[in-house]
Amino acid sequence: MLARLLAALIGSALGLGLTAARAADPDPADWPAVLGAARGQTVYFHAWGGETRINDYIAWAGREAKARFGVEVVHVKVAETAAVVSRVLAEKSAGRDRDGSVDLVWINGANFAAMKTAGLLWPTGWATRLPNWRHVDVAGKPTTVADFTLPTDGMEAPWGMAQLTFYADTARVPSPPASLEALADFARRHPGRFTYPEPPDFLGTTFLKQILVTQTADRAALARPLDPAEAQARFAPVFAYLDALHPHLWRQGKVFPATVAALRRLVADGETDIGFTFNPGDAATAVRSGELPATVRSFTLVGGTLGNTHFVAIPFNAKAKAGALVLADFLMSPEAQAAKQDPNRWGDPTVLAVDRLPEADRVRFRALDLGAASLAPEALGPVLPEPHPSWTTALAAAWAQRYAVR
């Protein structure tokens, strides 16, 4: 009798514990409950802080989240997302399975792969159950569900599109080069007038990957993990191109700008003539803010350029999961997406299927003046898929070994 009573009490306690554990994690299927739990929470949003206008947009989104949902948003500005991955990993290693220091993180690519592999993400498939998920253009933008070839499995919510886009000051370059070969020829004919950010900066590494994808005949191999034994042969065309290019770069390829902002300043100051960005609206936004001359125009390359989606994700041990869900959903809303695509704010392309939105929301996007410096979305050309994350880290490391200043 006593044994049965003890077993029942233990079973009841375990059941209550499991119920409490489940109750601690909000369920996006019960959105009113999520909104209720989120009110009063503070979301620590760890996101790159290297661009003033992006920081300003996040601040605007935070103010909206506070006014609409009672969610306080603290933008923790980071230089490298890998540092956030390391922080969450350290918390997991220390047994900190609750009340983590990161509630939401701006992430994609190798960092997503690392967090997914190490079990650092909230694994509930939450993203596809958010109310605004229904507006995401999964069919037209397949990278919204595949991050550098890896299925997202609902562990991250898309909030922006990216595609490598070049720009030039047409007062100095009336006919910009339309291929990597033409770009190399331009550099030979105009020494010092082109450069790229130093890897592992994400934009510099993207330039390396553009060369890799363009020069690789077997593109299907890029979707598979890189065999380290094949790396030297796979990267040989990239380094052959760069070996020929570097002597003609700004400062003879011995010094490189550190970031996309530094690259933009070189064009603005007239030190170089051509720059590039991973945001197709970046040049127009910079022209409007006076950061680039009014004669700057965007251009792309024949055959397409590298593109992907960037996301927000919730760590497994986030303290304010409900608040993070509410913020992630708001960032996917038509209102927030239209505001983000506005060149007066950020100019970042939307992840939504605009043609399928309600008319009032389509009007928001039609009203946007993308500016003369921007290309229309249909003029950006084909999007070349990102390689598997293993190629990115290996290529940046090989570049550093070969070219980095010691």
Tell me the C-alpha distance between 68 and 167, whole Å.
38
pLDDT of residue 283: 92
Q: How far is CA 77 from the centre of its chain?
A: 15
pLDDT of residue 126: 98
pLDDT of residue 18: 34
**Which whole number is the average pLDDT over 232-248?**
97
- pLDDT digits 0-9 by tens, 112-159: 999 999 999 999 899 999 999 999 999 999 999 999 999 999 999 999
- pLDDT digits 0-9 by tens, 369-398: 888 898 988 898 899 999 999 999 999 999
Residue 5 has pLDDT above 50, yes or no: no
**Which whole number is the average pLDDT over 251-267?**
95
- pLDDT digits 0-9 by tens, 182-197: 999 999 999 999 999 9
Q: Give the pLDDT band (50/70/90) at residue 24.
A: low
Q: Which helix (H) or strand (E) holds 188?
A: helix 180-189
User: What is the rounded average pLDDT for all residues in the chain?
Assistant: 92
User: DSSP secondary-structure letter at 74?
Assistant: E
Q: Which helix (H) or strand (E) holds 64?
A: helix 52-69
Assign 294 to helix, strand or coil.
Answer: coil
Q: Give the pLDDT band (50/70/90) at residue 217.
A: confident
pLDDT of residue 17: 39
Q: Cβ distance 325 to 126 under 8 Å? A: yes
pLDDT of residue 22: 40
**CA triplet 106, 118, 278: central angle to 5 degrees?**
30
Residue 16 has pLDDT above 70, yes or no: no
Q: Give the pLDDT band (50/70/90) at residue 28.
A: very high
Type of residue at 213? V
pLDDT of residue 10: 37
pLDDT of residue 405: 65
- pLDDT digits 0-9 by tens, 159-183: 999 999 999 999 999 999 999 999 9
Residue 161's region, left for phi above 0, alpha for psi from -120 to 50, else beta, is: beta
Which candidate, 134, 127, 129, places its Cα nearest to that of 108? Answer: 127
Residue 13 has pLDDT above 50, yes or no: no
Location of structure tokens 């509930």: 124
**Which whole number is the average pLDDT over 304-329?**
97
Assign 192 to helix, strand or coil.
Answer: coil
- CATH fold, domain 165-307+381-403, is D-Maltodextrin-Binding Protein; domain 2 (3.40.190)
Which candidate, 305, 268, 310, 306, places its Cα nearest to that of 289? Answer: 268
Is the domain spanning 27-160+309-370 CATH 3.40.190.10? The answer is yes
- Residues carrying CATH 3.40.190.10, the chain: 27-160+309-370, 165-307+381-403
Q: Cβ distance 35 to 245 under 8 Å? A: no
Q: How far is CA 272 from CA 194, 209, 250, 292, 368, in A?
A: 5, 22, 7, 12, 30
pLDDT of residue 343: 86
